[in-house]
């Protein structure tokens, strides 16, 4: 048997797995790779003979495990769910106490909690690590959100720190210039230990939920410019390019400008016009919304973004409904540049609310699962590598530096001031969208969330009275301490009316 020579191993050579393996090797770590299809492994290694650390392809799972230095560190990047469990089941008999299994997929956090407990009972260590940034991030620097055994994280920390995206320590902007065999050096790495068991995958899930909201908001800004202002895709691209140099500077704004300038190579038409308007989703946005419902935490903007995708998917129904259902014809007669500026501010305020909801959800989750989540560090590691990377995240980092126990981002002095400054435009845009029949569900819901959150008294008093009336569900009183519940006998057929 040869002496183990690999610092880490990776199972699953789809696009993400290949790119992450190359990233690891570029940083000087020797990595063993294994794929169920042997030909995939062999071709991948043959195609990349000169990586600084080196790729070692293995054709059997046993050979793969034997190639790794102790304690063994094994990254799994296969489809979440049953496929991940199958890989773990195959590995366990080959591993020894203290070895570390790292799930880098989009796992459901409760699965991660279960897997960590199961492996711990067998003397093995488990890390559930969120990996964000898509193919490009995996190759040149993702945002990494590891959770699980803290001692296990310390074992992989040198690798995770090396391969993560880097940001400028002063501006918080991502450092760029990485190329094959030439990684970015210096800067602040976009990774930190999140917490035990499923914390890393939970935070990655919330990241994806916010991402759903961010993308939908940008689409609504585009729709308002296209359908209400009558602007062409190249004109809208110019607006997004301008926005990307200011407060809305972000990866998603940047790629939106690029997309809207693209022409279809087959027809010459704007590319966005030949793409079918039915959006898919892989489940993490839905998980975020379901979890918010389960914990009783308001995250309506994320949920509306998920529902918007569901609504887009019923294309045939919408096509039929368009011939039957009526609404106002979009008609704009004001100052176009003023309204573009208003859309900018509506997008900005809605974005603040979406992030406020995501961080509020994580704050409740840490109580539910016994975590202590580092909110400022979470915002910090989202500044580079991940899909929602944005200048905006530097301000969230600063907010949690000012107050680590901040209840809601809207209460931070900076964000409170920004919403105060911009909300007139926000309300103008929401009103115009409703009046002209342009659907803008995340703009609507974000504003309703803001108005609800700032309301000392809501009509839930009437709702509780209704629940007590039809179901004797009881109610609390404004003139009694919280936690005391009351009920009165409501009139029913044959029963005398309540006397005052």
Q: Which residues are catalytic?
A: 204, 211
Helix axes 392-402, 336-369, angle to 10 degrees: 50
The count of other CB atoms within 10 Å of the CB of residue 50 is: 9
Please, which residues have CB within 8 angstroms of residue 173's CB and are 6 or more apart in sequence? 167, 383, 384, 391
Asked whether 89 and 24 are in contact (CB, 8 A), the reply is: no
Q: Is 230 exposed, middle or buried (0-12, 13-18, 19+ CB in 10 A)?
A: exposed
Shortest CA distance to 137 belongs to which of 284, 23, 300, 224? 23
3-state SS of 3-15?
CCCECEEEECCCH
Pairing of strands 143-148, 125-132: antiparallel
Please, which residues have CB within 8 angstroms of residue 236's CB and are 6 or more apart in sequence? 222, 225, 226, 260
Please name every residue paired with 191 in a beta bridge, in sequence order, or none if there are none. 144
Length, in residues, of the chain: 500
Asked whether 191 and 144 are in contact (CB, 8 A), the reply is: yes
State the Cα–Cα distance between residues 242 and 246, nearest whole angstrom.
7
Cα torsion angle, 476, 477, 480, 486, sign: negative
End-to-end CA distance of the chain: 90
Please, which residues have CB within 8 angstroms of residue 122's CB and are 6 or more apart in sequence? 92
Q: Token digits for 395?
A: 């301000």
State the Cα–Cα distance between residues 126 and 148, nearest whole angstrom.
6
State the Cα–Cα distance between residues 58 and 165, nearest whole angstrom.
28
State the Cα–Cα distance between residues 401 and 381, nearest whole angstrom.
14
Asked whether 233 and 256 are in contact (CB, 8 A), the reply is: no
Asked whether 147 and 112 are in contact (CB, 8 A), the reply is: yes
State the Cα–Cα distance between residues 487 and 101, nearest whole angstrom.
54
């Amino acid at each position: 048997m040869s002496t183990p020579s690999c610092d880490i191993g990776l199972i699953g050579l789809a696009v993400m797995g290949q790119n992450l393996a190359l990233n690891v090797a570029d940083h000087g770590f020797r990595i063993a790779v294994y794929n169920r299809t042997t030909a995939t492994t062999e071709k991948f290694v043959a195609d990349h003979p000169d990586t600084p650390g080196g790729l070692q392809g293995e054709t059997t799972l046993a050979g793969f495990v034997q190639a790794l230095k102790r304690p063994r560190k094994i990254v799994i990047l296969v489809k979440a769910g049953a496929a991940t469990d199958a890989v773990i089941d195959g590995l366990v008999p080959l591993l020894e106490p203290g070895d570390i299994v790292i799930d880098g997929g989009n796992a459901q956090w409760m699965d991660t909690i279960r897997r960590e407990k199961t492996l711990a009972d067998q003397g093995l260590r488990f890390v559930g690590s969120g990996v964000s940034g898509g193919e490009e991030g995996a190759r040149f620097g993702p945002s990494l959100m590891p959770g699980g055994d803290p001692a296990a994280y310390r074992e992989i920390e040198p690798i995770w720190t090396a391969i993560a995206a880097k940001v400028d320590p002063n501006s918080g902007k991502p450092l760029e210039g990485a190329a094959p065999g030439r990684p970015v050096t210096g800067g602040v790495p976009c990774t930190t230990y999140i917490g035990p068991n499923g914390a890393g995958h939970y935070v990655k899930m919330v990241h994806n939920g916010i991402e759903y909201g961010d993308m939908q908001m940008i689409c609504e800004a585009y729709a308002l410019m296209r359908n209400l202002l009558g602007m062409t895709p190249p004109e809208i691209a110019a607006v997004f390019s301008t926005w990307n140099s200011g407060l809305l500077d972000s990866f998603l704004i940047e790629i939106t400008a690029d997309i809207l300038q693209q022409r279809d190579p087959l027809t010459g038409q704007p590319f966005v016009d030949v793409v079918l308007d039915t959006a898919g989703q892989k489940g993490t946005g839905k998980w975020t919304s379901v979890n918010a419902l389960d914990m009783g935490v308001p995250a309506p903007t994320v949920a509306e973004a998920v529902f918007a995708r569901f609504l887009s998917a019923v294309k045939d129904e919408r096509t039929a409904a368009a011939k039957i259902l009526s609404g106002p014809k979009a008609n704009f007669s004001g100052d176009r540049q003023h309204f573009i500026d208003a859309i900018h501010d509506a997008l900005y305020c809605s974005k603040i609310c979406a992030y406020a909801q995501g961080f509020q959800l994580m704050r409740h989750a840490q109580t539910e699962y016994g975590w202590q989540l580092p909110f400022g560090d979470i915002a910090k590691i989202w500044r580079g590598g991940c899909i929602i990377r944005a200048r905006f995240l530097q301000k969230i980092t600063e907010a949690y530096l000012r107050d680590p126990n901040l209840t809601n981002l809207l209460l931070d002095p900076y964000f409170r001031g920004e919403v105060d400054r911009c909300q007139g435009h926000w309300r103008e845009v929401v009103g115009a969208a409703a009046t002209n029949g342009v659907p803008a569900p995340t703009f609507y819901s974000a504003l309703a969330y803001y108005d609800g959150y700032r309301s000392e008294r809501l009509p839930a008093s009437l709702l509780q009275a209704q629940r007590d009336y039809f179901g004797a569900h009881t109610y609390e009183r404004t003139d009694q301490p919280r936690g005391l519940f009351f009920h009165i006998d409501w009139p029913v057929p044959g029963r005398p009316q309540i006397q005052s």
